Amino acid sequence: MGVVAGISFLNYKERDLRELSDYMEDGLIKGLKLYPGYEPFYPYDNRLKVIYDLAVEYDVPMMFHSGDTYSPKGRVRFSHPIHIDDVAVDNPEMKIVICHVGNPWIRDCMEVVYKNKNVFTDFSGLVLGDFTEKFEKYMKGQLEEMILYAGEPEYLLYGTDWPIATMKSYLKFMNQLDLPDDKKELILWKNAAKLFKIDVTKF
């Protein structure tokens, strides 16, 4: 099993980075994640360079919470997906994932993904529990528009944020996307397997 390690911008210490390095060296950590919005910082803050250098050194994706925050105490000015553009431009060798398609700023996320070939996005955490019929229809249109604009969905990752959202509801949503089966396979697992370097032959 491999994990994505969350890093607190406000609280991490040098020893934490050394420990993360050891785990990445052993292949146990497959990605790193930061939480702008939940913590008050912009992703392009220069103090994060040491973390981004680690991600590049070990070739693991750098994930960012983006968009709405589950907590009303979050500050969404920090979690707008447009801020990831600066990170992508300044760190072209780093693989980046904008989590939650930047919802509700999906079109801004769409542009950042389209413009920067090192940026990916997932559509986890869009709902609490199950999709309602109206919201499912709305999000279906949003993702199909993203694919129309940004091209072949090799940048798009399936995700749920379970247990906040139900897997059953997400699979139903995925099945309703107006895409051929080979594109759905890319989104469901092939893109993630390639990005996170998961050897699927072991399964």
All structural domains of the chain with their residue ranges = 3-202
Answer yes or no: is pLDDT of 153 > 80.
yes
For residues 31 and 5, the answer to whether their CB atoms sit within 8 Å is yes
Where are the extended beta strands (E) located within the chain? 3-6, 29-34, 62-64, 96-98, 119-122, 156-157
Tell me the pLDDT band of 201, cut-offs 50, 70 and 90: confident
Tell me the pLDDT band of 168, cut-offs 50, 70 and 90: very high
> What's the confidence (pLDDT) of residue 112?
98
Tell me the pLDDT band of 2, cut-offs 50, 70 and 90: confident
Answer yes or no: is pLDDT of 199 > 90.
no
**DSSP letter at 46?**
G
**CATH code that applies to domain 3-202:** 3.20.20.140
Which residue in the block uniquely carries the two structure tokens 């992508």? Answer: 88
> What's the confidence (pLDDT) of residue 1?
77
